[in-house]
Amino acid sequence: MRILIELPTWLGDTVMVTPALQILEDQYPSAMWSLMGSQVSIEALKNHPLVEHIFIDDMKKRRGRIKATKILAQAVGPHDLAFTFRGSFFGAFFLYLTKSKIRTGYKRFPRTMFLTHSYNQKKSRHQVETYADMINAFFKISDMPGNLKLYYQPKEFAKKAVGINPGATYGSAKRWYPEKFAEVAKMLSDSFDVFIFGGPTEVDMANEIEEHLKQWGIKNYKNLAGQTTIADLIEMIGGLSLFITNDSGPMHIAAAYRIPTVAIFGPTNHSHTNQWHNPRGVIVRIGIPCSPCMKRHCPLTHHRCMKEITPKMVIEAGHSLMDKYNT
């Protein structure tokens, strides 16, 4: 049995799809998988023991996207089963062009015409449950989604380490402020070595945090923004003693390793994208009427959902986790 899986585009969504993949694995434990997805999603899951082939989706970068989709589909070839966890037109079109006999995805016009099996996407649930719903519907079962799982070995730090993650890919509204992250890092630096994380587009935020730490004379930190691969990021987060983060992909990595995590939420729906099955996670948020607005940028321009969260609130949440889990 050969199964083709088109992964979600973003890192956090890719981590959240892993319980659905476990349900699939339970149904066909001897199958071999081909993964197709973004560079980020492939790097996150390429170590899964059932993965036989990987294909990077760079079709958006090509001048002729339809032609590029055809070329990639020909390279991937037909599979016994094919699933797409994306909601885009091109996701379903790609499966069709591979000539895979059974093609499964979410129901949405006009993409449904390229699928042999399609299912309504229930959006009033946690994203992990939404992904699992499609696999359950295909097999006509009702398995509960289990834990998030990544196949990387956590790093062993010489001393207790706290991770600071000021970025969030979706938009500026999801980001707490660098100066506030810096205050939190300063207060935790007496108990932890501090590691600042961030992607290539988040280097400026990380540098701003670093500048504050330098001014305060803090020396036991390392700024890793823009310097880590996805594998590095997963391994390092997996070895942390504490993680302070926005609602982001790295937040879900921490959940996969049950890392004590303070997750800062503002415009996004914490009931849909909070850490899945992490008993050591706590959410810090302000319950104001306009939140969650689900916007990339604050439509009212005041950004109260993030501005009113104070470093003291985050530190208190962190200390409660430290006390509870002897971190």
> The CATH number of the domain where 72 resides is what?
3.40.50.2000
Structurally, the chain folds into a number of domains equal to 2
For residues 119 and 171, membership in a common domain is answered with no
Same domain as 173, residue 116: no
Check whether residue 97 and residue 175 sit in a common domain: no
6 and 134 in a common domain:
yes
* Domain-located, residue 149: no
Q: What is the pLDDT of residue 222?
A: 98
Query: Is the same domain home to 88 and 218?
Result: no
- Digit-by-digit pLDDT tens for the chain (327 residues) are 999 999 999 999 999 999 999 999 999 999 999 999 999 999 999 999 999 999 999 877 777 889 999 999 999 999 999 999 999 999 999 999 999 999 999 999 999 999 999 999 887 899 999 999 999 999 999 999 999 999 999 999 999 999 999 998 878 999 999 999 999 999 999 999 999 999 999 999 999 999 999 999 999 999 999 999 999 999 999 999 999 999 999 999 999 999 999 999 999 999 999 999 999 999 999 989 999 999 999 999 999 999 999 999 999 999 999 888 876
Same domain, 61 and 173: no
Residue 156 domain flag: no
Q: How many residues does the chain have?
A: 327
Clarify whether residues 31 and 165 are in a common domain: no
Does residue 183 share a domain with residue 106? no
Q: Is residue 304 part of a domain?
A: yes
Q: Is residue 11 part of a domain?
A: yes
pLDDT at 178: 97
For residues 13 and 99, state if they share a domain.
yes
Query: Can you give the pLDDT at residue 123?
Result: 78
In the prediction, which pLDDT does 326 show?
A: 73
Does 168 reside within a domain?
A: yes
Task: Assess whether 83 and 179 both reside in one domain.
Answer: no
Distances (CA, A) of 299 to 267, 296, 302: 10, 9, 8
261 & 300 share domain: yes
Residue 150 lies in a domain: no
Q: Given this model, what pLDDT does residue 327 score?
A: 64
For the CA atoms of 257, 260, 266, 267, the dihedral, rounded to the nearest 10 degrees, stands at: 10
**Together in a domain, 188 and 318:** yes
Q: Is residue 151 part of a domain?
A: no
Contact between 11 and 41 (Cβ < 8 Å): yes
Please give the residue range of the domain that contains residue 123. Answer: 2-139
Is 107 a domain residue? yes
Phi first, then psi: what are they for 77, rounded to 5°? Answer: 80, 175
Considering only CA atoms, which of 306, 11, 29 is closest in space to residue 173?
306
